[in-house]
């Protein structure tokens, strides 16, 4: 009788495969309160690497990290009507504290536009104070009715950037810079996901924004996942909080603002973009463990893997030394495969006699013997090849499963069948968008014919990307 697979096959039940992988690879558990999650050390290590890569790019864009309170006075959210209306169903509200009813209820942070703008209005006095570029790494709470670990949870981790500028043009350009050079660069070149950069329709725009820029990734089942967003807020919040400055012409002017964020949802996107029936596959540039050096058995093998581990670490490779010879080798190998570590170096007594090791590559698959002394020079090349392969596979899947259509009906059929549709926006329009919503199909973003981001919804030649989504 054939052994049962470790994971439910993707083709059989993709959502079940996703949940199996999270459990078996020890990425996360469900929390005690519905919709919450416990991120386990290996899963948190992925998030930490995402933080490190993103934080460096955010700081390079000129933003500085700060921290704002978790609790927000409820009255703050009522100052910007569209914003509070957009978040009202998701709010968690605290009415009692210290055994007493609060004089004013407080909202558990769903996002920080309101509280940050309250302080921006104090900090910005003159054009000399601009631009003000702030980023926050924090948790937020949005009461989720249909939770799924990493993708939709009532509490999740993220970064949220908030900026104030002297002019519309400065704010617009900064939002676009974050969208393209911070998020786009990270997702393409580190996560290895060939995201589409586009513009949200008015229906899908962030509550309180005048424009939302999005990054959409195609998952392994053909659905779309919004990986991150960058918003132009115009002067909406500046009006609500009276955030103004004295210009060079000695006139009082409202600031122009942006906000932007990515979250632990990216961990879910990583799983669904690159995982296969054997588990996760982690892009080498992201992996907090790029190479695991494994002793198969024997004291001499243990000594050798420790020595090799030190040499590889000194060469700048992120290494874990697995010298747990009291645990069966096969079980350990399967565990590392499930976790998606890009490379395993396996060394046993016979390998030592020959001065070789077995090189197992998770991303393309396969094993081959290599000289131990060659590994310091060989591994960086192998890791670069595997990083490129994941991005190539992501791009090829998206291109193969995207169909150009000319009718609303054909767009819906392509999305329901498990792919993306590309349709002229002047053919689809808001009426077609509403019709597709009846099939649980949405317009993920608008793009120009050359793949760039259009300057307006009605720009000539604008195309809509249509899909089912997470």
- Count other C-beta atoms under 10 Å from residue 175's C-beta: 27
What lies within 8 Å, CB to CB, of 178 at 6+ separation is 58, 61, 161, 230, 258, 260
Quote the CA–CA distance of 27 and 22 in Å, as a whole number.
5
Residue 1 is predicted with a pLDDT of: 53
Looking only at Cα atoms, what is the longest distance across the chain?
Answer: 83
Q: Residue written as tokens 């910007």?
A: 80
The reply to whether the predicted model has a pTM over 0.85 is yes
* Token pair listed for 411: 């767009």
Q: Residue written as tokens 């590392």?
A: 336
Burial class (CB in 10 A: 0-12, 13-18, 19+), 431: exposed
Q: What is the pLDDT of residues 390-447, one digit of tens each?
A: 999 999 999 999 999 999 999 999 999 999 999 999 999 999 999 999 999 999 999 9
Residue 170 is predicted with a pLDDT of: 98
Residue 84 is predicted with a pLDDT of: 66
Q: What phi-psi label fits residue 246: left (phi over 0), alpha (psi between -120 and 50 degrees) or beta?
A: beta
Q: Where are the alpha helices (DSSP H) in 41-167?
A: 41-60, 74-77, 81-87, 113-123
Quote the CA–CA distance of 294 and 359 in Å, as a whole number.
10
Residue 308's nearest CA partner among 359, 257, 267, 255 is: 359
User: Cis before residue 131, ω within 30 degrees of 0?
Assistant: yes
Residue 156 is predicted with a pLDDT of: 97
What lies within 8 Å, CB to CB, of 416 at 6+ separation is 439, 441, 468
Q: How far is CA 353 from CA 151, 303, 350, 371, in A?
A: 48, 14, 5, 11
At residue 39, φ and ψ (nearest 5 deg) are -90, 120
Q: Residue written as tokens 């992501």?
A: 394
Burial class (CB in 10 A: 0-12, 13-18, 19+), 188: middle
Residuewise pLDDT in 10s, the chain (470 residues): 556 788 999 999 999 999 999 999 999 999 999 999 999 999 999 999 999 999 999 999 999 999 999 999 999 988 876 766 767 788 999 999 999 999 999 999 999 999 999 999 999 999 999 999 999 999 999 998 899 999 999 999 999 999 999 999 999 999 999 999 999 999 999 999 999 999 999 999 998 899 999 999 999 999 999 999 999 999 999 999 999 999 999 999 999 999 999 999 999 999 999 999 999 999 999 999 999 999 999 899 999 999 999 999 999 999 999 999 999 999 999 999 999 999 999 999 999 999 999 999 999 999 999 999 999 999 999 999 999 999 999 999 999 999 999 999 999 999 999 999 999 999 999 999 999 999 999 999 999 999 999 999 989 999 999 999 99
Q: How far is CA 290 from CA 15, 91, 156, 161, in A?
A: 27, 40, 26, 30
Start-to-end CA span in the chain (Å): 37
CA angle 186, 191, 192 (to 5 degrees): 105
Quote the CA–CA distance of 110 and 279 in Å, as a whole number.
33
Residue 78 is predicted with a pLDDT of: 84
- Count other C-beta atoms under 10 Å from residue 53's C-beta: 17
What lies within 8 Å, CB to CB, of 348 at 6+ separation is 295, 296, 297, 298, 301
What lies within 8 Å, CB to CB, of 257 at 6+ separation is 117, 120, 162, 163, 164, 165, 171, 232, 233, 234, 235, 237, 238, 243
Render 327-357 in DSSP notation, one character per residue: S-HHHHHHHHHHHT-SEEEEE-HHHHHHTEE
Name the DSSP letter for residue 396: H
At residue 295, φ and ψ (nearest 5 deg) are -90, 125
Quote the CA–CA distance of 93 and 423 in Å, as a whole number.
42
CB 123 within 8 A of CB 242: no
């Amino acid at each position: 009788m054939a052994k049962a697979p470790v994971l439910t096959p993707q083709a059989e039940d993709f959502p079940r495969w996703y949940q199996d992988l999270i459990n078996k690879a020890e990425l996360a558990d469900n929390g005690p309160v519905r919709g919450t999650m416990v991120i386990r050390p290996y899963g948190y290590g992925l998030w930490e690497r995402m933080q490190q890569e993103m934080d460096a790019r955010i700081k390079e864009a000129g933003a500085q990290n700060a921290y704002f309170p978790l609790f927000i006075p409820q009255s703050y959210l009522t100052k910007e009507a569209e914003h509070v209306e957009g978040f009202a169903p998701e709010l968690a509200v605290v009415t009692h504290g210290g055994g007493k009813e609060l004089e004013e209820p407080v909202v558990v942070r769903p996002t920080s536009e309101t509280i940050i703008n309250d302080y921006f209005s104090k900090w910005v006095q003159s054009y000399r104070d601009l631009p003000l570029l702030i980023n926050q790494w924090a948790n937020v709470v949005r009461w989720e009715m249909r939770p799924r670990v990493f993708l939709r949870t009532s509490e999740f981790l993220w970064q949220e950037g908030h900026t104030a500028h002297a002019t519309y043009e400065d704010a617009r350009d900064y939002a676009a810079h974050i969208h393209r050079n911070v998020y786009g660069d990270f997702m393409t070149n580190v996560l290895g996901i060939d995201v589409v950069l586009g513009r949200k329709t008015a229906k899908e725009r962030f509550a309180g924004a005048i424009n939302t820029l999005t990054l959409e990734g195609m998952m392994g089942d053909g659905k779309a996942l919004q990986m991150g967003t960058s918003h132009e807020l115009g002067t909406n919040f500046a009006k609500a909080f009276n955030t103004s400055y004295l210009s060079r012409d000695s006139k009082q002017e409202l600031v122009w603002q942006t906000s932007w964020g990515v979250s632990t949802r990216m961990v879910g996107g990583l799983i669904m973009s690159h995982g296969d029936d054997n588990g996760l596959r982690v892009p080498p540039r992201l992996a907090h463990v790029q190479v695991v050096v494994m002793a198969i058995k024997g004291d001499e093998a243990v000594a050798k893997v420790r020595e090799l581990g030190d040499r590889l670490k000194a060469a700048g490779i992120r290494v874990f030394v697995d010298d747990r010879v009291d645990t069966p080798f096969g079980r350990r190998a399967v565990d590392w495969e499930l976790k998606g570590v890009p490379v395993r170096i396996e060394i046993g007594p016979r390998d030592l006699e020959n001065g070789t090791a077995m090189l197992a590559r998770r991303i393309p698959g396969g094993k081959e013997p290599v000289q131990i002394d060659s590994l310091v020079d060989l591994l960086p090349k192998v890791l670069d090849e595997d990083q490129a392969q994941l991005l190539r596979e992501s791009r090829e899947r998206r291109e193969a499963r995207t169909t150009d259509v000319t009718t609303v009906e054909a767009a819906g059929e392509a999305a329901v069948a498990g792919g993306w549709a590309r349709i002229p926006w002047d053919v689809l329009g808001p009426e077609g968008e509403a019709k597709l919503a009846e099939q649980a199909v949405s317009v993920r973003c608008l793009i120009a014919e050359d793949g760039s981001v259009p300057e307006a919804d009605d720009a000539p030649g604008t195309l809509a990307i249509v899909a089912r989504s997470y």
